[in-house]
A and B are shown apart, each in its own frame.
Chain A
Amino acid sequence: MTGRILDGPGEEGLQRKRQTKAQTTQAKAAAGMIPSNVGDLGANPAQSQPGSRTAVRLAARPGPYVAVLLLVAVSVARIAATYTTFTAVYDEPARVASGMQWLGQGTCTP
């Protein structure tokens, strides 16, 4: 640990490291990978274009989105796999019945 501190990059090196980090952050923000207004309540409304930013993020880094979809798919499969084991359980039958009636017949008797 001591060696690592002694052999550290020095003030010049640290400054260069900070500059590189700032440039990387700016580049990531420009690519929409991180929100530019994190931690800033009430930021400039002009920066907010949720739809386009999500599209840019998806194009730049599809990995996390694919991982989320996979996790959801696995969870759905795990839930569906229990249907053959268990009896169907439901609560508030009047509401479920109203919903089924609405979906099936287009009318609803609350």
Chain B
Amino acid sequence: MLLFTSLPPILGHAGVATLDMACAATMAAALYQFVRWLENPVWGRSVVFGGALGLAFLSKFSSLAFLAACGAGAVICLAAVQPRTLFASGRLWPRVRHGLIAIGVTFLLMWAGYRFNLTPLSERGGSHPSLDRLGANSLLRKAAHRVFEVPLPLMEVVKGVEEGYQHDRQGHDSYLLGQYRKTGWWSFFPVVLGVKTPIGFLVLTVAGMVMVSKRLRRSPWQQVVTAMFPLAILAVCITSRIDLGVRHILSIYPALAVIAGHAVSRSFGLRGRLSAVLSIVLACSAVIDSWLAHPDYLAYFNQAAGGHPERILCESDLDWGQDLHRLSQRLKAHGVDRVAVRYFGTALLEKSDLPQYRILLPDEKPDGYIAISARFIRLGCAKDGAYC
């Protein structure tokens, strides 16, 4: 818990009004309840697990992909590594029955989240060119039209997932190590985790993973499954074309913190005191790193990133427009009365306390004071030479 609550990305993103931290929190709850449900699938746990799943799905659509990957990964992992654990009880039917209860609760909660709304899959009545192309049989066509036009629950989710899928196919403007791409990099999220996480935490996580993987068949299955969750989440992110920053992979941190905590705990059981002392030093370094980063949790980079983190990442990992207030104060302190601004963020410039300002154009060669967000200097410059 100490390691988790000391993580700068968690503190930074918990302080802004976005969906990412809600997704991370509800994902952690859903995964924990999943393990408890696997332990003992009874009525109460099925209902709680279903509720946790519903909250996670409601918080952000990416949780659908994350939880599907974690669930599938857990079953495959247990079947491959500890098959007796998974099938020993021989009570498949109760498990299926309680699984259906959980799914029912999830469905109800999600539908309640959309205020029990009923919407047809297609809003257009009588005309569906895509369906008409499939066949001339009028009876089949009418039946298909009827299916498309009948009001159903949770159609908003279907449309939202479809939108998310299209967004992923098209990609998103991304920046990594001085390069621009629309379709992302497979290495983006490993690099993000490598530079946005305190080094002490990373070392403890790797040590915890090694400890669990060395005793795969002898470790309690809960540990094996918990070590698999972050890998499943990372696998989903690596295949994604939307590379926006650490905020998209915040859900990985609760499980990583458990693994890091396991490493600290196990180090006390190992022979000799060196490992215990080392683990305490690493944990302390992670906590101290976090305190030293205050208040810039959002823009935190570890020591491996060096003095110019903008060469590695920009946007929400470094500058999400959070420093507009600081900029105003700085300009005031320097007695600046006019400034050219190109701001990447959601705050309203006219309501900020800036001196007289104007918007800076991409191909302009201005004089005087200029304030420009790192996103435009790095990503804009790498993309099409703007603001170089």
A7 part of interface (Cβ distance < 8 Å): no
Within 8 A of A (CB), among B13-52: 14-20, 38-42, 44-45, 48
Q: Is B161 in the interface zone, CB < 8 Å from A?
A: no
B340 beta carbon closer than 8 Å to chain A: no
* Cβ contact of B294, chosen from A47, A78, A87, A108, cutoff 8 A: A78
> Are B40 and A90 in contact, CB atoms less than 8 angstroms apart?
no
Contact of B16 among A41, A44, A89 (CB under 8 A): A89
Residue of A nearest to B219 (CB): A39
Measured between beta carbons, the chain B residues less than 8 angstroms from A108 are 115
Residues of A within 8 A of B301 (CB): none
Contacts of A72 in B (CB 8 A): 5
- Chain A residue nearest to B36 (CB atoms) is A50
The majority secondary structure among interface residues of chain B is loop
Are A48 and B295 interface neighbours, CB within 8 A? no
Question: How many positions in chain B have a CB within 8 Å of any CB in the partner chain?
Answer: 45
Instruction: Judge whether B325 is part of the interface by a CB distance below 8 angstroms.
Output: yes
The answer to whether A42 and B95 touch across the interface, beta carbons within 8 angstroms, is: yes
Is A34 engaged at the interface, CB distance under 8 Å to the other chain?
no
The answer to whether A29 has its CB under 8 Å from any CB of chain B is no
Q: How large is the interface on A (under 10, 10 to 19, 20 to 34, 35 or more residues)?
A: 35 or more
What are 12 residue pairs bridging A and B, where the CB atoms are less than 8 Å apart in the complex? A38-B39, A42-B89, A43-B40, A48-B45, A50-B44, A71-B2, A79-B297, A83-B15, A86-B15, A86-B298, A89-B347, A91-B17
Those of B82-100 within 8 Å (CB) of chain A: 85-86, 88-89, 91, 95
Contact flag A41-B85 (CB < 8 Å), given A81-B295, A82-B15, A90-B16: yes
CB distance from A8 to the nearest CB of B (A): 15
Q: Which one, A45, A83, A85, A92, contacts B40 given CB within 8 A?
A: A45
Convert B319-357 into 0s and 1s, putting 1 for each residue whose CB lies closer than 8 angstroms to a CB of A. Answer: 011111110000000000000000001110000100000
Q: How far is the CA of A72 from the CA of B2 in the complex (A)?
A: 9
Does A13 interact with chain B (Cβ within 8 Å)?
Answer: no
A40 within 8 A of B: yes
Instruction: Give which listed residue, A82, A87, A95, contacts B345 with CB less than 8 A.
Output: A87
Q: How far is the CA of A43 from the CA of B88 in the complex (A)?
A: 10
In the bound complex, what is the Cα–Cα distance between A78 and B346 (angstroms)?
Answer: 23
